[in-house]
Structure 1
């Protein structure tokens, strides 16, 4: 296998994965695993919450699903709109989310790792604020 080839996805193409993909494909918003689980149930299929978490985590590792960790401890998932590494700007009020690229953050993270002798640096960054609509409603 050449170094230019992309890694093979770890997620098998099961009916559970297909059901979860359909739900994520039709939602522009981040969803909790519980919301995905409920949506599968509403479609008439039965799947365990553990399976939903396992499929979502595999898709995160495969780079096809974004994960968003909120400061209240909740974890949300959404199909990636961007390819490659990116960050999120999140509204604290309505949870509207914008994907952003931040090359200076990438450079900073690499330098911090190098300063301490770390290699294979990875990071997650979410920036929180109020979206224009929520900011206007607050005034």
Structure 2
């Protein structure tokens, strides 16, 4: 007997898809990816979501190697674009994320890196 194709009946059915999303400490996020076992119905066209939301399909409705690779490439492109914006502003990492207080206190004995054991400072 042939198995019936899986259908996505409603966006309210939380077992019909997997969502991949990322965010950072500054509150920036990447557009979410929704992974379905079967592609969504027209009802999904009317949900309020990120206009850059991406859809993917897998046999299990979970991520697989192909989807993960596509997502990683998308994440890198999106992240590099954000990095270029920050670099154009002339900010370094600490300034952008607001974690440079330790550099503004001259008496702070903070070192920017740890030396490996048995290393001499020249």
With the shorter chain as reference, the TM-score category is under 0.3
TM-score (norm 2): 0.22
TM-score (norm 1): 0.20
Which structure has the greater CA radius of gyration? 2
